[in-house]
Structure 1
């Protein structure tokens, strides 16, 4: 397995070198909206520790990411009036991973609405701002 690259896009987001639409942060995880969402409210939850994927993270640090995804999922159900949630986590190129910093996708789903293909379009900044505000409000209400 290839070593962790500290210059991957998510590491840069964590260091504040690249902008994002942050919705949640604690001492272990950071969550932000995907700029190319497959659905409205598509959020990424990443660990603050450098981890390429599930294969090189400790179980404890992975559990923090899972707890973060759980928290985001509950808030996203309310914020986006979703009918369900899809959670995905990919590992290595053969497993579908594209960005090599461990991350979970949390995607609110609506009956009869298909997900867009990955990286198919960049969302408008105003829409991302509005969606971030909805999710942040739902997180504060919990």
Structure 2
């Protein structure tokens, strides 16, 4: 699998950059985020250097998200969490240009409110349907 020596996550995968690893298999490496939202905040990265979810090869999607699922359960159990927040960015707000999913343990009333940005509404059902159609057309 290709790596990028300039990528901090690739260096963690190769073992040349320190990290608190919590899981690794043939598809992924998972390690604690250095600046966690809450203790136990874990990043799950594919072993190969891919920048975004849309760059992940089709045959890697299943193994990658199977690992994300397993790590999510482990984080919830280990942190005695009520649940979790699992999210990833593509390009915008992606601090490291290497695909990664954040697995954040959550507790009720932990202060984290939904998404981290303001949310809105569609003007009406017609606008929502037009947007849905645009997305369906791209699939």
Give structure 1 regions of 4+ aligned residues with deviation exceeding 4 angstroms. Answer: none
TM-score (norm 2): 0.74
**Which structure exhibits the higher relative contact order, with contacts defined as CA atoms closer than 8 Å and separated by 6 or more residues?**
1
Q: Which residue of 2 aligns with 1:50?
A: 49
How far has the Cα of 1:5 moved from its partner?
Answer: 4.6
Tell me the SS of whatever aligns to 1:50. coil
Q: Take 1:63 and 1:106, find their aligned partners in 2: how far apart are those partners?
A: 17
Name the Cα RMSD after superposition.
Answer: 1.9
Aligned mates of 2:5, 2:91 — CA distance in 1: 16
Aligned counterpart, 1:77: 76
Mark the runs of 5 or more structure 1 residues left unpaired by the alignment. 119-142
Q: Report the structure number with the largest CA radius of gyration.
A: 2
Per the alignment, residue 104 of structure 1 pairs with 101
Deviation track 1:84-135 (CA, whole Å, cap 9, x = no partner) reads 1100010012xx21101111101110111124xx9xxxxxxxxxxxxxxxxx
Structure-1 separation of matches of 2:13 and 2:43: 12
Query: How far apart, CA to CA, are the structure 2 residues paired with 1:104 and 1:75?
Result: 15
Q: What does residue range 10-25 of structure 1 map to in structure 2 within 5 Å?
A: 10-25=9-24
CA contact (8 A) 1:8 1:101 kept: yes
> Number of matched residues?
112
